Amino acid sequence: MTKSKKLQRALKEPISRNEALQRIQSDPEAYSKFIEFPNEHQEKILEFIQGSRGLPIVYDPFFKKIFNPIEKPERLERFLSCLMNQKIQIINVIPREGTQMIEKGSFVVMDVLVQTEDGSYINVEMQKYGYKFTGERSTCYMSDLVMRQYTKIKAEKEKAFSFNDMKPVYLIVLMEESSKNFKKVAPSYIHHAQYVCDTGAEINFLANYTYISLDIFHSVSHNINSYLDAWLTFLSSDSPDDIIKLLDAYPEFEEYYHDIAIFRTKPKELMNMYSEILAQMDRNTERLMIEEKQQEIEKLSLEIEEKKQEIKEKAQEIEEKTQEIKEKAQEIEEKTQEIEEKTQEIEEKTQEIEEKTQEIEKQSLEIKSIHKELSEKDAYIKELEMKLAQKNG
């Protein structure tokens, strides 16, 4: 069978664009909803009804149509068995109502919680936008699931309950648009997480996490080389080329596409599902914008607080410097006063020295005068002595 025939068989017989539009217009209620959709989604719907495009499997209405764990548990079992590399058999679908972690306006577009044959809980969740704080949220979510299992087993076994009765709990998060922390490690697109001891001590922790980045897988995977590749292609792409490649490699997916193709002849049901999806997308987009704005505000608030703290520290530093300058100024003033006093003292001493010098000079003049007078007297005496000697001689 050729590729085109496989695609036709999977999506039923293709029709023209006008026939697709007429099929929608045949139901006034469906058409009234259709014309309210954005042009982009109108085109996707027309291409789907024509048979040239698939549907976004990851959205809740379409996912449940294919993977309804009550009506067709074997399909979800196949996916989980492939992903977890072990045989998974679902024995119970656990309702999400009443849990503590239900969130209004969540970006979660699909959420299925099942119990397996060995008693383990597996929660499969599809997120439109990967949460920016995946680890924190997942931990809270996992705690809720563990407590649900604990409460159920405790109630069933009562006094016979033992913590050894607890089974592993798995949280599988499929992300249509990954958050930055996952994009940073691309091209890796599957991430497993489990608690372990840094010493190597073997402790049986219950929580197991798996994160799958469908957008990264779609961007890096160009061939279908494994059964897991087939599943991730099925979940991440509605492209005709990808559908053809998938059916060539794994024909079993034909029945899944067949279930989706039924909506080509049910425009009213299709429009109702799309209305639900688009309303959810609008809420998600609005919430994402609000969260981004809130984070932006929180970031700015943090920056403002940091600036305030910086200004406060600078002010404290300036105050300390000002106090230091004041102390230095006081010290300088005291030194200046001391210098002035010393200068005054020196000036007084200088004045005293000058006065003493003048007095000494005056006394020196007097002494010189006396010396002169004595010299003159000595000369006169010598003259008299000479005269006397001459007279006696």
pLDDT of residue 98: 45
Read off φ and ψ for residue 211, nearest 5 degrees. Answer: -115, 130
Helix/strand/coil for 208: strand
Per-residue confidence in pLDDT tens, the chain, 393 aa: 554 455 545 454 678 888 888 888 888 888 888 888 888 888 888 888 887 777 777 776 777 778 888 888 899 899 999 999 999 988 888 775 544 444 444 444 456 888 888 889 998 887 776 666 678 888 888 898 899 899 989 999 998 999 999 999 999 998 888 888 899 999 999 999 999 999 999 999 999 999 999 999 999 988 899 999 999 999 998 888 888 889 999 999 988 888 887 888 888 888 887 777 776 665 555 555 556 667 777 888 888 888 889 898 888 989 889 898 998 989 898 898 989 889 898 988 889 888 888 888 888 888 888 888 888 888 888 888 888 888 886
The torsion defined by the Cα of 27, 33, 38 and 43, in degrees rounded to 10, comes to -20
For residue 123, give both structure tokens: 């929660």
> What are the sequence ranges of the domains in the chain?
3-300, 301-393
Question: How far apart, in whole angstroms, are the C-alpha atoms of residue 114 and residue 118?
Answer: 12
With CA atoms as reference, report the closest residue to 206 among 173, 151, 164, 172: 164
In the chain, what's the furthest Cα-to-Cα distance? 183
Q: Which of 261, 262, 266, 243 is nearest to 253 (CA)?
A: 243
Contact 269, 263 (CB under 8 A): yes
Label residue 19 left, alpha or beta by phi (over 0 means left) and psi (-120 to 50 means alpha): alpha
Dist. CA 283–CA 306, nearest whole Å: 34
260 neighbors 235 (Cβ within 8 angstroms): no
Residue 60: name the closest of 179, 178, 174, 144 by CA. Answer: 174
pLDDT at 114: 87
CA angle 184, 190, 196 (to 5 degrees): 95
The pLDDT of residue 102: 46
Q: What is the pLDDT, as a whole number, of residue 133?
A: 64
Instruction: Output the pTM of the full model.
Output: 0.66
Taking the alpha carbons of 7, 12, 16, 21 in that order, is the dihedral positive or negative?
negative
What pLDDT shows up at residue 105? 42
In the prediction, which pLDDT does 2 show? 54
Helix (H, G, I), strand (E, B) or coil at 80: helix
In angstroms, the CA 288 to CA 104 distance is 13
Model pLDDT, residue 284: 57
Q: What is the structure's pLDDT at 210?
A: 95
pLDDT score for 279: 67
d(CA 322, CA 327): 8
- 312-347 per-position pLDDT tens digit: 888 898 988 989 899 898 989 889 898 988 989 898
3-state DSSP assignment of residue 36: coil
Asked whether the beta carbons of 149 and 120 are under 8 A apart, the reply is no
Pair of tokens at residue 273: 């599902």
pLDDT for res 211 = 94
Q: Two tokens at 148? A: 């649900």
